[in-house]
Amino acid sequence: MTTVADAPDQTPSAGTGSTALDLILRFRALGLLLALAALIVITASVNPRFLGAQSIRDLLFAAAVTVLLAAGMTVVVLTRGIDLSVGSTLGLSAYLTATALSSGTPVPLALLVGIGAGAACGAVNGAIVHFGKVPPLVATLGTLYVFRGIVYFTAGGSRVNASDLPRGFLDFGSGAVLGVPYLFIISALVLAAVAVFLSDYRAGRDLYALGSNPEAARQTGLPAGRRLMTAYVLCGALAGLGGVLYAARFGTVDASAGYGMELNIVAAVVVGGVAIFGGSGTVLGAGLGALLLTVISNALPVLRIDQFWQQAIVGALILAAIALDRLVGLRAARALRRKASHVD
């Protein structure tokens, strides 16, 4: 039986002589935390109510779905892939869930409908990428429009109103425990579960190996096809769960649900330290990136800064993250070359 080597850690070990590289990678997470803290402090100094209980609760509500979808996107990006259809998948799931609930379907079954629809969309993406050998960017750009078209066709210009949904479902969507929304708790638990999957399970660590060096991973016997399908199905299922949470939060659902979310999700993942070239990064960093972008979008109006600058700031953060990924890659390559020369 062929043995597959463990995927490389997302942080190089000190034993490779890359102590400086370790510091850079750790500083990225610390930098995000410092940026987040600084932004909150500055905004609160302008308007102290920004740190009020209701304001914090609203921020967590706004971040819940973004964090959830960022977790799924991370799994795909680690394999050198991308899923631009997550917004459309969320929209389809949200509408199907709301429609099922409005017709009297029990909440647990409607939940399965939403997650199942998302997983099916993810399976379509994975099949096109793996079996069709279509680049992920092209494949998921196509399914973005296909899934959105299905939503518009299914909705037919209509929408599901909050009055059509079960009261308990809506109460859960707006409820909280100790001031923390249920929706954010669910997203945080999913984020933690994905983190454990990526770090402690062979299937999760295989995704790092597949993204780091796809050809070498295949030659060692890694089941690349299954792992790739797993990544896309998981991403789709989490987008489907995001659609369920969207329906619970807003109640009123139409064909435009989730429209345009995909770029924000990709931005959150990249800003959070997941290399767009695959093979490195953590889902916790992606969650932190999602939280940072949410705070930015909510802080700018308080600071009386034009919303145009939100796009400019996010773009600058993405460019900085990609530049840092490139720097890290170059340093890692030099460290490996030095180690190889010492061995020789």
Q: Is the pLDDT of residue 14 over 50?
A: no
Q: Are 71 and 289 in contact (CB under 8 A)?
A: no
Residue spans of alpha helices (H) in the chain = 19-46, 53-77, 86-102, 107-130, 136-155, 167-174, 182-200, 202-212, 214-219, 224-250, 261-271, 283-302, 308-343
Closest CA to 122 of 93, 149, 91, 89: 89
Q: Is the pLDDT of residue 341 over 70?
A: no
Q: Is the pLDDT of residue 241 over 90?
A: yes
Q: Is the pLDDT of residue 12 over 70?
A: no
Ramachandran quadrant class, 166 (left: phi over 0; alpha: psi -120 to 50; beta: rest): beta
Structure tokens at 68: 């959830």
Closest CA to 322 of 278, 284, 287: 278
Q: Is the pLDDT of residue 16 over 50?
A: no
Mean pLDDT (whole number) for 140-169: 92
Q: Is the pLDDT of residue 138 over 90?
A: yes
One-letter identity of residue 279: G
pLDDT number for residue 4: 43
pLDDT number for residue 119: 97
Question: Which residue has better confidence, 32 or 12?
Answer: 32
Q: Is the pLDDT of residue 19 over 60?
A: no
pLDDT number for residue 337: 64
Question: Which residue has better confidence, 15 or 197?
Answer: 197
Please name the residue that has the structure tokens 């209701």: 54
pLDDT number for residue 125: 97
Please name the residue that has the structure tokens 């850079």: 24
Cα 196 to the center of its chain, rounded Å: 15
pLDDT number for residue 240: 96
Question: Which residue has better confidence, 15 or 110?
Answer: 110
Closest CA to 72 of 257, 234, 276: 234
Question: Which pLDDT band, with edges at 50, 70 and 90, does 277 fall under?
Answer: confident
pLDDT number for residue 30: 73
Q: What is the pTM of this model?
A: 0.85
Least confident of 168-182, 210-224, 300-314: 300-314
Tell me the pairing of strands 180-181 and 176-177.
antiparallel
pLDDT number for residue 296: 87
Highest mean pLDDT (candidates 35-44, 81-90, 151-160)? 81-90
Question: Which pLDDT band, with edges at 50, 70 and 90, does 17 fall under?
Answer: very low
Highest mean pLDDT (candidates 48-52, 73-77, 152-156, 199-203)? 73-77
Question: Which pLDDT band, with edges at 50, 70 and 90, does 72 fall under?
Answer: very high
pLDDT number for residue 8: 44
